[in-house]
Amino acid sequence: MFFDIHTHKKHNIHPAIINAYDGFDRLDKNQFYSIGLHPCKINENLSEIQLNHIRNIMLDKNILAIGECGLDTRCGTDYHKQKSIFIQHIHLANEVKKPLIIHCVKAHEELIHLLIKHECKVPVLIHGFNNKWQVAEKHIEQGYFISLGKSIFNPKQADLIHKIPIEQLFFETDDSEIGIEAIYEKAASLLKIEISDLMIQIQKNGTTLLSNSTLPWKT
């Protein structure tokens, strides 16, 4: 079984968690979602209304995670506003006991600081990781999960997958046209393991991450 932990594709052959940051009243009841405000999608004048939409549906059984949310120093959203909204996402995730799916660009140390300071009590997934091992290691030390996508096809990232504990690893398509099958196949090749064994391990990881939710592969 291929499991896509984070995707923007609305229709998926394999179990997947679809990211949604708007249109919450139009979500397909036959799909599974994460809901949150991407730091670059925050409307600074309407952020409270946006958060209220999330509060209204975050208990739905088809909502498996909060996010993607986080910090991004490269986008135009005011950075102080990003931090404020991210902190609110931590509290929402704690309230509903659902994991956080995090987007982070050039702010990893502060991100970890905020998660610790505001006592994040749920599993954390750093999605679309495309950075150095030294950065990944800091997240791993905190027990966070790391999700890899199309970056594993970059030769410069080939060594990273060997250093991440397989128990803290996930795969995703995000907004890429690359299929989740190809990402698994590349990962299994790099790790020199059977793809079936990799599938089993990622499913175990999913059970840990989504312990309080309906599991997409058991419906």
Which tens digits make up the pLDDT trace of 36-49? 999 999 987 788 88
CA gyration radius for the chain? Answer: 16
- In this structure, are residues 148 and 161 in contact, taking their beta carbons and an 8 Å threshold? yes
Q: Give the pLDDT mean for 188-199.
A: 97
Please write the tens of the pLDDT for every residue from 73-86.
999 899 999 999 99
Give the closest residue to 128 by CA, choosing from 148, 110, 154: 148
Listed by start position, the domains of the chain span 9-218
Please count the other Cβ atoms lying within 10 Å of the Cβ belonging to residue 68: 27
Nearest to 171 by CA among 157, 161, 156: 161
pLDDT band at residue 186, thresholds of 50, 70 and 90?
very high
DSSP collapsed to 3 states, 90-122: HHHHHHHCCCEEEEEECCHHHHHHHHHHCCCCC
Whether pLDDT at 104 is above 90: yes
Bond from prior residue into 68 cis (ω within 30 degrees of 0): yes
- List, edge to edge, every strand of the sheet that includes 145-148: 4-7, 16-20, 32-35, 63-72, 100-105, 124-126, 145-148, 169-171
Q: 212 falls in which pLDDT band (50, 70, 90)?
A: low
Q: Beta partners for 71? A: 104
103: amino acid identity, one letter: H
Q: What is the pLDDT of residues 26-38, one digit of tens each?
A: 899 899 999 999 9
- Pick among 3.20.20.140, 1.20.1090.10, 3.30.9.10, 3.40.50.2000: CATH of 9-218: 3.20.20.140
Q: What percent of the chain has pLDDT over 90?
A: 84
